[in-house]
Structure 1
């Protein structure tokens, strides 16, 4: 297994409520979500919640925005990796819903 990877942050400018939070296949943002590819899924599993064993590695649940459109993130995940290997998210886009790019992790 992997050690936990912790993802923390603050996202502003969202509508109130839940917004999907995912790691996508590629870090290419030239053509919106199209160039970022689908959810990062190196083991060809079904879409699922962060607590499911059978899920995309990139399925990180939801970011919940408050009345001011601000979501605070503090996610700890065993499937993500910052090292080399099949679960590495280095160089991939991290996406809120399908329209707002938050972070591209590049080493």
Structure 2
């Protein structure tokens, strides 16, 4: 057998393995994602961009058409936004976490500060989330969603801060 044939024979299993390996660009490798936010009537209320940073996941929300006032703002555990948005499940949370910044066993990874929407209903904010890895924690098999609640989060009542009904939702997807 020639040297060329030996090289090809040796490389065959390696090449075959590459042909059936998962793509190198898996969800764990994603450095940004987007959620298009809609209200309960299916109307757009803006978008939320998530970016992986060395310190964790930074969120930038550009919202419009929301009711004025203070609203809870969370990352929920399931990437489904069927109105009235209960389909998004509970807050994104690691094992043993409880809701709220005032809770000694909290907060959930998906807990974020309340948003304060002015009278014109428009808001442009950035928030550092409790999520450390966008690909592994948010873009997992069942995805995740951004949810805005009717009322304010009290930062302690488990499981959702007594924030009331969900008024807007957006499934987080890779860009």
TM-score, L = length of structure 2:
0.51
| Structure ID, larger Rg | 2
Deviation at 1:80?
Answer: 3.9
Deviation at 1:77?
Answer: 2.8
For residue 39 of structure 1, the aligned residue among 85, 91, 104 is 91
Per the alignment, residue 58 of structure 1 pairs with 110
Q: Which moves more between the two structures, 5-14 or 31-40?
A: 31-40
* Alignment RMSD (CA, Å): 2.3
Q: How does 1:72-91 map to 2 (within 5 A)?
A: 72-84=124-136, 88-90=137-139, 91=143
Conserved? CA contact 2:110–2:129, under 8 Å: no
CA distance 1:16–1:80, shift in 2 (3 Å):
farther
CA distance 1:78–1:26, shift in 2 (3 Å):
closer
**Structure with more relative contact order (C-alpha pairs < 8 Å, separation 6 or more):** 1
Secondary structure at the aligned position of 1:83 is classed as helix
CA distance 1:34–1:89, shift in 2 (3 Å):
same
In proportion to residue count, which structure has more helix? Answer: 2
Provide, for residues 37-66 of structure 1, a one-character-per-residue CA deviation record: whole Å limited to 9, x for no partner.
Answer: 11112223221139x872111101211111
Q: How does 1:17-32 map to 2 (within 5 A)?
A: 17-32=69-84
Q: Tell me which stretches of 4 or more aligned residues in structure 1 moved more than 6 Å.
A: none
Unaligned runs of 5+ in 1: none
TM-score, L = length of structure 1:
0.79
Aligned length: 101
Unaligned runs of 5+ in 2: 1-53, 150-165
Secondary structure at the aligned position of 2:79 is classed as coil
Aligned equivalents of 2:68 and 2:86: distance in 1? Answer: 25
